[in-house]
Each structure stands twice: as structure tokens, then as C-alpha cells.
């Protein structure tokens, strides 16, 4: 499974989503060898990323960009076998969290319980509801404006149980890859199997869209669910931030 194409596809889907979201709100910038996207009054994407390995020579440029754009997070792809993340750690960058990049070859649909309903977000009221409940799962905000400006670029879904909004989902397709993002369930509705049901819906939609692989980036909370569904690990993503209080 761990072939270089799947790894590249995973990174491409994720960074294209960041680039697309930022571009729609005039918040994407390219500054070789880096790109960054920071949307005002939102906690996402707010990423500074690179396609190649970082070097010590890149550090002054990284620090300058972050000084001018406080709050940017640097995702480090653990694919270079160079330990170049030490450059960040030796310069007061701290680990925010770690995610596991995963992929699934799409070959069969899953039966659904049909206890949940999925509504694509296509109006301001639903965008506000989605934006309001998303931080209950992820501890950061994706602004209502981000959704409104990206209706056509990505598929945002509100997940309902008995007409109550209990979860979120984002699907973003690049070529034959369907990226599954933002799978969240509000805290009081967890451990009821809903996250797995959302994932099955997402996989079925990916197959309907003629995707060949589903790709995602899993937190510790979700990775066991995804493995049960057949996803396999590709690589580790470590998200770094610069503590503004460190001197």
C-alpha cells in the first residue's frame, strides 16, 4: 500500500483543499519553496506547507512569514527520512498534534443504517450551523464565510439525527482521489456508531463519484474506526506551531 503515488496523492488532496479555500477568500500566498493560507477570524486552514524537505537555509524565511502571520501551523510530512523536523524543534517550534495519513482502495459500498440524514450545505443558514458545531469536535473554527465561498469547490455536509444537527463532513475530490475531511460528531452523541456511519456514507459517495481511493488524515480519536473500515496507514503528519511566548 505504501507506494509513493498514494503518499503524493494524500498530500496533494490536503494541500489543494487549503489552497482552494484560501484562494476563494484572497488568503492564499505562494512564497517558494512554501505556500501558506490564513483566513482572517478563522482557525483553518492557517497552514504554511512545503512540497520538498525543509533545510536550515529555509528557517529565516519560515520565521519571517510566521512573524507577519501569527498563528500559522506547519505540517511536517514524515516522508523524507532526514529528521529535518529537528530544525523546527531546535528553534522553539512545538508539536500541536499528530495525524496519520491513510488511504483506502475503493471497491465496495457499505450498507447504511439510514438513521442519519445528510444535507449538503448550500445556503447561509446551514453554513452557520455547520460552522457553529464544527468546533465542538475539532477545537478550532472554520468560518461560515469559508463555506459560503466554497460551495462549488468542496461538498460540506450537515449530519442530522431526528432533525438535530449532530455532525459534519467535508468531501473534496482531486482526480481519482476523494479526500474525506472534517468528520466530526458533537460530544454528547459520540460512542453511538455515528462517526462510522458518516464514514460509510462518505465512502459510498466517493464510489458514486468514480474515485479510486479515499484518503484522509486521522486523529488518535478516529484512526481505529478507519482501520476497521479497511484504511491503511501511509505516513505521519506532525503539526508544529511557534509559541509566541518563547524567546
How much is the pLDDT for 221? 83
Q: Is the pTM of this model over 0.85?
A: yes
Print burial letters for 158-175: b (CB count within 10 Å at least 16), e (below 16).
Answer: bbebeeebbbbbbbbbbe
The span from the first CA to the last CA of the chain, in angstroms, equals: 43
> What tens-digit pLDDT sequence spans the chain (247 residues)?
468 899 999 999 999 999 999 999 999 999 889 999 999 889 999 999 998 999 999 999 999 999 999 999 999 999 999 999 999 999 999 999 999 999 999 999 999 998 999 999 999 999 999 999 999 999 899 999 999 999 999 999 999 999 999 999 999 999 999 999 999 999 999 999 999 999 999 999 999 999 999 999 999 889 999 999 999 999 999 999 998 665 4
How much is the pLDDT for 2? 60
Domains recognised in the chain with CATH numbers: 6-100+236-241 (3.40.630), 105-235 (3.40.630.30)
Amino acid at each position: 500500500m505504501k507506494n509513493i503515488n498514494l503518499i503524493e496523492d494524500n498530500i496533494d488532496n490536503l494541500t489543494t483543499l487549503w489552497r482552494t479555500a484560501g484562494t476563494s477568500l484572497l488568503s492564499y500566498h505562494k512564497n517558494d519553496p512554501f505556500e501558506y493560507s490564513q483566513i482572517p477570524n478563522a482557525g483553518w486552514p492557517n497552514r504554511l506547507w512545503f512540497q520538498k524537505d525543509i533545510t536550515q537555509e529555509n528557517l529565516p524565511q519560515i520565521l519571517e512569514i510566521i512573524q507577519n502571520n501569527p498563528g500559522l501551523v506547519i505540517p511536517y510530512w514524515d516522508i523524507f527520512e532526514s529528521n529535518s523536523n529537528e530544525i523546527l524543534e531546535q528553534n522553539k517550534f512545538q508539536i500541536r498534534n499528530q495525524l496519520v495519513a491513510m488511504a483506502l482502495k475503493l471497491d465496495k459500498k457499505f450498507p447504511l443504517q439510514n438513521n442519519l440524514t445528510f444535507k449538503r450545505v448550500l445556503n447561509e443558514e446551514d453554513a452557520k450551523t455547520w460552522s457553529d458545531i464544527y468546533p465542538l469536535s475539532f477545537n478550532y473554527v472554520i468560518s461560515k464565510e469559508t463555506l459560503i465561498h466554497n460551495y462549488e469547490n468542496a461538498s460540506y455536509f450537515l449530519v442530522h439525527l431526528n432533525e438535530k444537527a449532530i455532525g459534519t463532513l467535508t468531501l473534496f475530490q482531486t482526480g481519482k482521489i476523494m479526500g474525506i475531511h472534517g468528520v466530526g460528531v458533537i460530544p454528547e452523541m459520540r460512542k453511538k456508531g455515528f462517526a462510522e456511519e458518516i464514514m460509510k456514507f462518505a465512502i459510498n459517495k466517493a464510489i458514486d463519484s468514480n474515485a479510486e481511493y479515499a484518503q484522509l488524515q486521522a486523529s488518535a480519536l478516529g484512526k481505529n474506526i478507519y482501520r476497521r473500515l479497511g484504511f491503511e496507514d501511509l505516513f505521519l503528519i506532525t503539526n508544529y506551531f511557534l509559541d509566541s511566548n518563547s524567546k
